[in-house]
Structure 1
Amino acid sequence: MSTSHDSSSPSPKPPTGIRWRSSTLFILSTVGMGLFTDLFLYGLIVPIMPFILRDRIGVPHSQIQSHTSILLACYAGASMLSCVPAGIIADRLATRQLPFLGGLVALLASTVLLFAGRSIGLLILARVFQGISGAVVWTVGLALVMDTVGSERLGVAMGSIFSIISVGQVVSPVLGGVVYKKAGSGAVFAMAFGLLVVDFLMRLAVVEKSASAEYGIVVDPSAPADEAENQNNGEANEESPLLRKSSDDDNDIEQWKIPPNQPTWVRRFPVISCLKHPRLLTAQGVAIMQALLLSIFDASLPTEAHDLFGFDSLQAGILFAPLLLPLLLLGPLAGKAVDIYGVKPASLLGFTTLSIPLLLLRTPHASSDSFSEILKLSALLLLCGCSLSLLSSPSIVESGHVVELYYRYNRAHFGSRSPYAQLYAVNSVASYLGLTIGPLMAAALRESVGYGNMNAVVAGLCLGMGALSWVYLGGKPRMLLWKRGRV
């Protein structure tokens, strides 16, 4: 637990195990565990939700899709509304740990209600609590990562974390389906409660680097003291690789200056003054699209698989594996590529290549040779997963880079602490907006124009987002700068 001490005390005793508890590896593992738990419990419910609605609540089959989408949207909507308050509170508190633990309390309440709920109202309330927990863990957790590693290693750190949490995304639907079919919902939620205990102990044990510095303890001696201080404070520095490889657009310092005498509401949430920049707005668009894509798969794939092949909860859970497995295998490599080559190539390639298998998802159909059609669907989902792995870190890295530049030239506006919790609150709002829109969009389009045409619409959105990424992410392309006489 993070501990502060009275400066009048001559030799305060550091917490037991402070070196390993405040090490970069343990902090990143704790954040990864928190995100893993959030997504594991989310994914645990997705493939069995239609069957809980049918078997426990008695919802007619014709209403399963709409009720599933509503429950997914409730989670996302609650998260979206909770992100900004979570970010403001986290930036104003001396430690990130307290709100991090508070999020876990909400997740516990959600799990209890999902286990015991026997009505739509209780299931909705459970999803609201789960959404609040998700907002806290993503907002505070990502800010804690930025505090710990700084911007220069953010891409590979986030790629590695997404690789860890994608295990939860891959395993939880399969486990949820298997255990629900073999042992019922009680066994499913026993796994959930066990995971919550481990997550709680790790969050309780973590010591932030700022707290260890108060005791004169340098946990990562390979990093120079001044560099570690900059990382802990989230400050930009001259040697940051992100700053060194920034485009010619970044040389115009005036674009990063924030006018003085901002309104009171802006000074209370200063990161909002950064949202005028098209690069940051585009980064939020990428976050919206990434979340929208995943939520559309969550909302429509189990129902489509049931309608085409008669899949039960176990088979629907297994079907998510080819979609999510590439995130596990390719996440760190994609994050490293973003650190080396920038966000523009990854985002452009991810969105453009994703549109192809999305268009082809109309081709699997019910037939006497269902095995070959299942293989076809699985192969297309695998290709979708490969493209999605390229989109896991560009939004977060680009957002951190832009705000780092704003913070560098406007210290008086932001105060003594960099606004990364507020930034990732905004980023989480964008993600949860996508998670809110996705299920509702999936229900509306699938019921009105069919599954194939729904995916065609989504493919068109991907192509549009890819074009915006090419123009704005990482600065204007040299071709456009040349036309404007900038190079």
Structure 2
Amino acid sequence: MEAVKHVPWLYNFRSSEGFIVIVVSIAIFTDVFIYGMIVPIVPIALVKRAGAREEEAQSWVSILLAVYGATLLVGSPLFGYFADHCRLRKLPFIVGLIALGASTGLFVVARSLPVLIIARGLQGFSGAAVWVVGLAIIADNVPPDRVAEAMGHTSIALTWGALLGPTIGGVMYEKLGYYGTFAIPAGLIMVDVVLRFAMIEESGAIQPDKAGLDATIEGYQRHMYGTFVRQEDEYSGYFSSGEDTASEQGLLLIRASNPCFDHPRLVYEKRATIFDLLRTPRLPLALIATVVMAVIFSALETTLPLFVMDTFKWSSSGAGLIFTITAIPSFAGVYVGKLIGRSGARIPGLFAFTIAAISWISMRFVKNNTAADITLLIILLLAQGVSIVFVEIIAMTEVSQVVDDYEADFPGAFGDKTPVAQAYALFNMAFAGGQLLGPILAGGTRVWAGWNTMTLVIGLVCGCTAIPVGLFSGAPLRHAEDNRDDEAVNLSSIVMRGYDGKFYATGHLPHDKFDNPEPDSFEIFTPYKGTTLFSMPLHHSCSELLAKFLDYSVGTTPSSYLGVLFRALRSFHDEASKVYRGKIKYGRITKQQGQFWYPTISTKSFAYDPFFTSPELLNYYQNLPEIEQVPEEDNDCKVCYIKATLETDPFSKLPPELLMMILIHLPVQSIRNLRHASVAITRLRLPGSFWKEKLKRDMPWLWDFPYQEAEQTSRNLNWRKIFNDIYIGSQGNGRSPFLSLANRHRVWRICEQIAPRYADFQAEREMVEARG
């Protein structure tokens, strides 16, 4: 059976988070650049090529802008719905590219007003596709805690595309004529074509041979997984070759009937829609912030050029270059995104709208053609640029976070796919509405009441927006008690039993020790300001070891003991390499060292034994050949340093002392034998459709999260990516490592034996260091 058609060329690179962000950012830059480039040449094209009279040129320019806005407003919900209901978002993304290419081509050949109108309309559809689908693709492929950072890249693309488009368009027309103006857009579109087609969404990377898979499922049910009982009343269509008929309904969590574990599984009930999100305060508030951001941006475009030309007697070129000042802060977009990702939207949003209000109101003090007033204007425009960058990233990030948090609160409410594209459609419509409102509000107020009143009105709009943003945006605040007055801590503060029945060691790590924890840096108290909860998943067999290790008999234990245990367990993490640093985040399964690793709040992770909740897999591995152990007296060995030849080798990064202890238990003093023995038995042939349908019921260890709010652990997990990774690896074709469950099981077995020795080793070393 040939179950996998092929693995795409450069699959890892083309499906990587960084490449996807670059593709979307370049798509946004291309769209905004071409839109802006058309602006200075449209009046000329109307008169010289389309035959419009000069006195009608301004009216036709307004009509073309209105056509663009109308198609943007109409296209946004259409592309949002399309993207949320098609298998791959890449398809509508490419449709938008086709619309952009057709629009640019029509502008090149246009010699009539209808053709120009059609070209501008297609440009609006293209903008809708880029913004709605592109941002949804980022939200799908970037972990939630790094979405804001990714949006920083899109903010840079938006700002500089809007700035460079009109400038370069005017220069190109003067130097190369009408046709020569489109040389750069043609080049950008060709680059965009290559990148959009090269991008791979994880959910569509590998397509299984469904006929072959269906033919093997019965065998797996009969022979390998006899305890999996099909329940017709609740799982209709689960093993059908057609589409899952139940997928047309919504989802509701109930308890599983499997007695081996207590874990929720899914049945189908009413499905939520985008309108349910609009009933929450956060999404409407994010849309209001988007409208105000667009008002700020368009108000500057409408009023600032005429103001500086009248006040400072600048030329039109100088008036255009003044916008470069507002674009400078966009270079910090990535760092702003990181800040928002760490601190949330509330405080940065309050800061952004506050400085926007202050800077707008302060613009009334720019009155004369003096160096002091010019300097003041530059400072105020820099502040405006900072506020725009903050609000852009906050608004774009909040839209996806609202969807994610709703899914976390009501798991499965949206069915198989969250309506993140429809949410971004609302974002795009809000931005378009702000662009329409800004010129009317700013231009009309300045004409009827003057510059000072106009700046006051816009400043008050920003100030009024700052209040609800500062109070209600971002995730709800969690209040914690400050309880740090005990020298020793009760056992309940150290070990938790999760709702799944398993044990977790917990602690609180001060922020300043977050990246490089030491034993004494743990504070085992209830949460308090300045610390982050740290949860450590424990192998089920380690409960007895932990009891001995922490000395339960006295009921209390120093925090440093848990720190030593942490150091013993964290040795399974790749400390020497920064390749995976930052990729193991809260609420997400991450693939590392050829295995799926448990996520924690920190960037550290630990292997977790899956056999506790999957007796079928436990039985399978119990029947595998055992690795012989070295006799107890034969413990004199040297650490063998070898160069790892397999990326799946989980042993190459262990500390020397821990590696030496493992080697004691091998018949030959080389880690290579253990690695090869484990790799040889990790190629299970598990049919993809089996895991796709049974994943959440029969392999809960893939997403159980060691945290007090474990019932919300299913959010933001890309189940299709997990399915693809398992499926590819199960074919044994050498192109992708499998779960390496045998490695993990044996590592834990050995860890149980050497952990006390490792603790003694650490204690001896600390005593020697203290004496020295």
Q: TM-score, normalised by structure 1?
A: 0.76
Amino acid at match of 2:37: L
Structure 2 residue 393 is the aligned partner of structure 1 residue 390: no
Q: Which residue of 2 aligns with 1:254?
A: none
Aligned to 1:419: 419
| Partner amino acid, structure 2, of 1:18 | Y
Deviations along 1:3-39, one digit per CA (max 9) or x if unpaired, are xxxxx74342223232322122211111111111112
- Aligned match of 2:337: 335
Distance in 1 (alpha carbons) for counterparts of 2:142 and 2:153: 13
Report the CA distance between 1:176 and its aligned residue: 2.7
| Change beyond 3 A, Cα 1:398–1:258 | farther
Alignment-derived partner of residue 298 in structure 1 = 301
Deviation at 1:59, TM superposition (A): 8.6
C-alpha distance 34-308 of structure 1, shift in aligned 2 (>3 A): same
Residue 290 (structure 2) pairs with residue 287 (structure 1): yes
- Sequence identity (%): 33
Structure showing the higher helix proportion among its residues: 1
Whether the 8 Å CA contact 2:302–2:439 is kept in 1: the answer is yes
Structure-1 residue corresponding to 2:186: 193
Distance 1:102 1:383 in 2: 38
Q: What one-letter code is carried by the residue in structure 1 that aligns with 2:301?
A: D
Q: How far, CA to CA, are the matches of 2:48 and 2:307 in structure 1?
A: 19
Relative to structure 2, which stretch is displaced further, 429-438 or 97-106? Answer: 429-438
Pairing 1:266-415 to 2, within 5 Å after superposition: 270-306=273-309, 314-327=317-330, 329-364=331-366, 376-415=376-415
CA contact (8 A) 1:88 1:269 kept: no
The CA deviation at 1:178 is: 3.1
Specify the code of the residue in structure 2 equivalent to 1:179.
M
Distance, in Å, in 2 between the alignment partners of 1:11 and 1:471 is 51
Residue 604 of structure 2: aligned partner = none
Of 371-380 and 161-170, deviating more is 371-380
**Corresponding residue for residue 89 of structure 2:** 96
| Cα shift at 1:203 | 0.6
Question: Larger Cα Rg: Structure 1 or Structure 2?
Answer: 2
Separation in structure 2 between the aligned mates of residue 102 and residue 399 of structure 1, nearest angstrom? 23
- Kept after mapping to 2: 8 A contact 1:69/1:439: no
Residues of 1 paired with 2:71 and 2:164: CA distance? 25
Q: Does 1:107 align with 2:100?
A: yes
Residues 142-157 of structure 1: pairs in structure 2 closer than 5 A: 142-157=135-150
Q: CA deviation at 1:337?
A: 1.1
**2: CA distance between counterparts of 1:99 and 1:174?**
30
Change (3 A) 1:409 1:354: closer
Counterparts in 2 of 1:469 and 1:307: CA distance versus 1, 3 Å: same
- The C-alpha deviation readout for 1:155-202, integer Å capped at 9, x for no partner, is 111113323443323433432343344444433322112211111111
Amino acid at match of 1:460: L
Matched residue, 1:435: 435
In the alignment, the residues of structure 1 paired with residue 456 and residue 366 of structure 2 have an alpha-carbon distance, to the nearest angstrom, of 14
Instruction: Name the count of aligned residue pairs.
Output: 423
Residue 208 of structure 1: aligned partner: 201
Q: Find the residue that maps to 1:406 and give its secondary structure.
A: helix
Q: Which runs of 5+ in 2 are unaligned?
A: 209-249, 254-269, 480-772
Superimposed CA distance per residue, residues 390-417 of structure 1 (whole angstroms, 9 cap, x where no aligned partner): 1121122222222212223434531111
User: Are residues 157 and 125 of structure 1, via their aligned partners in 2, closer, same or farther at CA, if it must alter by over 3 Å?
Assistant: same
Report the CA distance shift for 1:405/1:318 in structure 2 as closer, same or farther (over 3 A).
same
**One-letter amino acid of the structure 2 residue matched with residue 419 of structure 1:** P
Which segments of 5 or more consecutive residues in structure 1 lack a partner in the other structure?
1-7, 216-256, 261-266, 480-487
C-alpha displacement of 1:422 = 1.7
Contact 2:442-2:458 within 8 A present in 1 as well: no
Q: How many Å separate the matches in 2 of 1:106 and 1:301?
A: 33
Residue 286 of structure 1: how far off its partner (Å): 0.7
Matches within 5 A, 1:201-240: 201-212=194-205, 214=207
Measured in 1, the distance between the counterparts of 2:186 and 2:205 equals 31
Instruction: Return 403-412 or 427-436, whichever deviates more.
Output: 403-412
Residue 205 of structure 2: SS of its match in structure 1? helix
Query: CA 1:86–1:68 in structure 2 vs 1: closer, same or farther (change >3 Å)?
Result: same
TM-score of the aligned structures, taking structure 2 as reference length:
0.50
Q: Which moved more, 1:302-311 or 1:88-97?
A: 302-311
Q: 2: distance between equivalents of 1:269 and 1:450?
A: 48
| C-alpha contact 1:73 1:439 (8 A) present in aligned 2 | no
2:133/2:421 contact within 8 Å kept: yes
Residues 66/466 of structure 1: CA separation in 2 closer, same or farther (3 Å cut):
farther
Q: Following the alignment from structure 1 to structure 2, what is the Cα–Cα distance between the partners of residues 292 and 209? A: 37
Q: Which residue of 2 aligns with 1:473?
A: 473
Give the structure 2 partner of residue 21 of structure 1: 14
| 2-structure distance, mates of 1:60, 1:357 | 41
Show CA shifts across 1:203-229 (max 9, x none).
1111111223658xxxxxxxxxxxxxx
Deviation at 1:381, TM superposition (A): 2.1
Select between 119-128 and 60-69 the one with higher mean Cα deviation. 60-69
Q: Matches of 1:28 and 1:319 in 2, distance apart?
A: 29
Structure richer in strand, relative to its length = 2
- Matched ranges for 1:130-141 at <5 A: 130-141=123-134
